[in-house]
Every structure is written in C-alpha cells, then in structure tokens.
Structure 1
Amino acid sequence: MTRIILGVEYDGSGFSGWQWQPEKRSIQQTLEQALSKVADQPVTVTCAGRTDAGVHAFEQVAHFDVDAERELHAWMLGGNSNLPDDVKITWVKAAVNDFHARYSAIARFYRYIILNRPAKPALQHGRVTWCYNPLDAGKMHQAAQYLIGNHDFSSFRAQGCQSKSPWRIMHFIDVYRHEDQVIMDISANAFLHHMVRNIAGVLMAIGMGKQPVDWTRELLEVKSRKLGGITAPPDGLYLGGVYYPEHYGIAKHPVFDKLPADAKRFD
C-alpha cells in the first residue's frame, strides 16, 4: 500500500462539513468518490482537522492509502476532473516514514474574516462574516493575547464537544484591520469543537465595546461555556494551513514562522 498526501481547498458553503454524514453532502464523501474513480477501488481519506458546515479551507491536508499504481500528477488531474467546482486538490505527494495527516501535525492555522461595514456583502456572501457595528481591532488584538499559552479552554468549546481534554496550547492570535475587513489569524496545536468561532464571538463583543478587554482572561478562569458569549457564524472561517515536521517535506505556510521553536504536536 502507498500513502498519498493531498493539499485540498474548498468553499464550505455548500457542504455539511468535512465528515461523512448520511444523506448530506460532505467534503470527505465528495473527495473519496472522486479519488475512488481514479484508483478504480474504494478510497478512504483522512484529514488534518475536520471542519464544520459552512467552513472553508485555503489548505486542508489529507492522506489515503492505496495499492493502485498511478503517477502522482494523475491523482490531482484525475481527482480534479471528478470533483465539483467548490472543492479541488492543489498538490499531491507520496508520504514518507510514518506520516499521518492528523497525528503528525504540530499546529493548525485558521483565519477568520469579518466584513465590517454598514452594507451586507454581495460578492463575498457566504465567505465572510458581516458585522455592521464598528469594531476596534486594536482592543480585539489586546484581548486575544490573554489566550496565548497552555490553557483550559472550556469557556470556548461547544457544549457537545467530544474531546477528552479542554486543554490546548495557543501559539499566537493576531487581530488586525485591512480596509473594511477585520481579520483574526490564530494557531494552536489543536482546536476544540467551535473553539475558533467562540473566540471570534467573544472578540467581536469586545471590539464593539460590549465587554472589557480582559473579558477573555475572565472567561478562561471561570471555565464555563454558558458565560462565553455567542458562537460566531462559520461563513468567515478558513482552515489556512497545517504545519508538520520538516522531514515530511510538506511546505510550511509563512505564518508558522511565528511558532515557538519547541512547538510539539498534540497527543
């Protein structure tokens, strides 16, 4: 069996999320059906991080095992010819050593994009979160810094989150304004269910002046999702990239240059 690694981008607007769900359109199902036609046998795909309904990806990383012999470029060209317009394979390579898309990852990077203007989006509909109230990106960034480090993120996890531990290591969070957009770049060793969207909801409340800057610190201390504010919409959320040890030969997104030198994978 050969293990093949894929880089995948998708518009999550028309999907129920990454994971297979009965009678619903999922990215995993769509990708597996396309690759199975190229392999002429059933293919099962494993991703670095499952995304929810409506969440997009600049670069998801996935792998599959197959005994069919194909040129590497055939997996991308053949796969894309069988894929719809809202999901595409952007690169392919053979795995080395013990690579696993999920368990070999050191860090994930997400970007949350907020369109901050009075008018709703037309061209960006479904691809950004709209907020008409003015946001103070400086205060949002200041508030986000309380979340850096190894913390219990119980106040920022979905009530139905199935993770055994609420502890995660937050590497960095940067919030900044670019014209009429407020952008949040966030990286951790792993994320809890709805964690990024819950953090975005809290920071938006702070940016609108509804809560003080140190509210994020208070929420970490109380460890209660009931006090954690709204869950921001999925529209503006993108999986931006996944970072692996260099010996796997997967190109590193420049944003991961901010990671601490001793960053380790989530066990």
Structure 2
Amino acid sequence: MKRVKLTVAYDGTNYCGWQVQPNGITVQEVLNRHLSELTGEEIETIGASRTDAGVHALGNVAVFDTRVRMPGEKFSFALNQRLPEDIRIQESKEVPQDFHPRYVKSEKIYEYQILNRRFPIPTERFYSHFTYVPLDVEKMREAGTYLLGEHDFKSFCGAGAQVKTTVRCIHELNIEKSGDKITIRVRGNGFLYNMVRILAGTLMEVGSRAYPPEKIKEILEAKDRKAAGPTAPARGLTLVKIEYPEELG
C-alpha cells in the first residue's frame, strides 16, 4: 500500500464544492470515481481544503491509498485523460504513509478577485465579484494591516463551523489593483469557514467608505459574526496554493 498526493486545479462553477455530499456533484466525488475506475479499487480521497460551491482552485491537495504498482508521478497523466476539462491534476507523487493533508503543518494562499468598474464584463462573471461602487484600495490596504498576525477571527467565521478554536494567523495580506481588477491575496496557517470571503466582504465595506479602516480592530475584538461585513460571493475566490514542509512535498 502506498499513499499518493495530488495537486488539483479546478473551475468550481459547476460543482457543489469539494467535499462529497448528497445534494449535488462535487469535485471530490468526480475524483473518487475516476480514481476507482483507474485502479480497480474503491478509492476515497482525503482533501486538504473543503472549498465551497463555486470556489475555484489552482492548487488544492488530496491524497489516496492504493496497491496499484503505477509510479506516483504517473497518476497525473492517467487521471487527466479521464477527468472532465474543468478538473486537472497538476502534480502527483508518492508521499509517506502518515502524510495527512489537513493535519500536517501548512500554509494556504487564497486570492479574491474584484471587478470594479461601471459595467460588468461577461467573461469575468464566474471568476470575479463585480461591483460598480468605487473602492479605495489605499483604505483597504490600511484596514488589512489590522488583520496581520495571530488573532481570534471569530467575527470572520461563518455560522455552523465546528472548530476547536477560532484563533488563526495571517502572515501576509496584499491588495493590488491592475486596471479594473482588484486582487486580495492572503496567506495564513489556516482559515475558518467562509473566513476569506468575509474578510473580502469587510474590506470592500472599507473600500466603499462604509467603514473606516480602524473599524477592523473593533470587529476583531467583538468576536461576533454580526460585527463584520457581508460574505463576498464564492465565484471571486480561488485557492491558489497549499505549502507544506519541503521534505513532505
């Protein structure tokens, strides 16, 4: 038995998120089915990040166990011949049997895309959140500084999350503007349910001048979801990368 790690990219538009569920088709369900057909075994992948419906990924991570003698690096080629066009394996490799993508220390990088212009662009509708309200990027950047470091992010956690602690650490938060596109890029040791989307929604409130930048400190201290801004739509969010210690891939 060996454990194989997959780096998975997908367009989340047509899926009810990553995790298998009874209400609709998911990325994990499709991956499990094609792996099972490929190996002749009953495969159930373990994913690193349970992205929501409509969220995209360039580098989500999953592992599975198999007795098939195919080298780990060959699974990417075999799977990509079977998977639908909106799911592609970027890398496959064998890892230690005890490697668990959720429990091994890692950092995740997310990007949230905002299209900020007078009218929407149809080709951007699945990959960015459109708003015609002018956003002040400098004020958004100022607000972002209050989010850096370790905090209790309970105010930025969606309802229904089952976690032992709402304390997380954000190592980097950059906000860049190129033309009409604003990109919020955040890197941290873990994120709560809907956390990045709530961060984006709250930063947009600052950008529209509904909140002053320093209100972020007040929101953190409140430890109350009602204190923060709205949850930004899923379509603007992409899981860019999950970084693990080098020796584990």
TM range (shorter): over 0.9
Q: Counterparts of 1:34-183 in structure 2 under 5 Å?
A: 34-96=34-96, 98-183=98-183
Paired letter, 2:237:
L
Cα drift, residue 72 of structure 1? 3.1
Alpha-carbon separation, structure 2, partners of 1:167 and 1:245: 22
Instruction: Give the drift of 1:77.
Output: 2.1
Contact 1:16 1:52 (8 Å CA) reproduced: yes
Task: Write the letter of the residue equivalent to 1:171.
Answer: H
| 8 Å CA contact retained: 2:8, 2:62 | yes
Structure 1 Cα separation of the partners of residues 80 and 105 of structure 2: 25
Matched to 2:95, the amino acid is A
Query: Runs of at least 4 residues of structure 1 off by over 6 A?
Result: none
Partner of 1:92: helix, strand, or coil? strand
Which has the larger displacement, 195-204 or 133-142? Answer: 133-142
Structure 1 residue 44 displacement after superposition? 1.0
1:14 aligns with 2:14: yes
Instruction: State the Cα distance separating 1:63 from its structure 2 match.
Output: 0.7
* Structure 1 residue 197 corresponds to structure 2 residue 187: no
Q: Which amino acid aligns with 1:159?
A: A
| Alignment-mate amino acid for residue 177 of structure 1 | K
Identity of aligned residues (%): 38
TM-score normalised over the length of structure 1? 0.90
Contact 1:34 1:80 in 2 (8 A): no
Other-structure match for 2:25 = 25
Equivalent AA in structure 1 for residue 128 of structure 2: V
| Counterpart residue type for residue 20 of structure 1 | V
Cα distance in structure 2, aligned partners of 1:77 and 1:97: 22
Contact 2:4–2:95 (CA under 8 A) maintained in structure 1: yes
- How many pairs were matched up? 249
User: Is the Cα contact below 8 Å between 2:2 and 2:97 reproduced in 1?
Assistant: no
Give the AA of the match of 1:141: R
What stretches of structure 2 of length at least 5 have no aligned partner?
A: none
Contact 2:112 2:185 survives alignment (8 Å): yes
Which whole-Å CA distance do the structure 2 matches of 1:54 and 1:114 have between them?
15
Deviation at 1:80, TM superposition (A): 1.5
Say whether the 8 Å CA contact 2:73–2:94 is kept in structure 1. Answer: no
- Describe the SS at the equivalent of 2:122: coil
Shift of 1:125: 1.5
Q: Distance in 1 between matches of 2:131 and 2:197?
A: 14
Unaligned runs of 5+ in 1: 251-267
What TM-score does the superposition give when structure 2 sets the normalisation length?
A: 0.97
Q: Which amino acid aligns with 1:233?
A: P
Q: Confirm or deny: 8 A CA contact 2:11 2:86 kept in the other structure.
A: yes
Pairwise CA RMSD: 1.2
Whole-angstrom distance in 1 between the partners of 2:74 and 2:38 = 8
Q: What amino acid is aligned across from residue 233 of structure 2 in structure 1?
A: P
Deviation at 1:176, TM superposition (A): 1.4
Maintained 8 Å contact 1:109/1:186: yes
Deviation digits for residues 161-206 of structure 1, max 9, x if unmatched? 1112111111111111111111001011111000000000000010
